[in-house]
Amino acid sequence: MKVTGILDVYILFIIFIKVLFGVSTLGHYYLTKVSKTLHPDLDAKFVFWRERAEFIFTVSVALILILAFNPFSKRPIELSFEIKLLCFILGVILISGADWVMFVKETPFLSLTKK
């Protein structure tokens, strides 16, 4: 990726936020599941940064979507590979983070098939 403009810097920022999310998730997982040692202060920091990074990522990709699909823009932005990849990752995250148990429990058709 060749950094040529502000949009490329913004995409690099989003990638950095996603890496921060991954590191904080792995740190939290390690402290709670693998290590099983008591480090509540460090674990709280990992959880804090994981939640913030997830929020910043979602808002950042939403802003790219607003810019890319703005019907009032005279000059729409080009959908590069990186933007398509970020939108794909956002879709995967939103689908995997959905509350599927609640959806299956409250859907009448799916509850009839379970009986």
For the chain, 115 residues long, give each residue's pLDDT as a single digit of tens: 677 778 888 888 988 999 999 999 999 888 888 877 777 888 889 999 999 998 998 889 888 888 878 888 887 777 888 888 888 888 888 888 777 777 777 777 665 555 5
Asked if residue 88 belongs to a domain, the reply is yes
Neighbours of 64 (CB within 10 A): 20
User: Quick one: pLDDT at residue 19?
Assistant: 93
Asked if residue 106 belongs to a domain, the reply is yes
User: Quick one: pLDDT at residue 13?
Assistant: 92
Count: domains in the chain: 1
What is the phi/psi pair of residue 78, to 5°? -80, 135
Provide the residue range defining the domain that includes 73.
6-114
31 contacts: CB under 8 Å, gap ≥ 6: 37, 39, 42, 43, 46
Q: Is-contact 94 23, C-beta < 8 A?
A: no
Asked if residue 1 belongs to a domain, the reply is no
**pTM for this model (two decimals):** 0.70
User: Quick one: pLDDT at residue 111?
Assistant: 55
User: Quick one: pLDDT at residue 16?
Assistant: 93
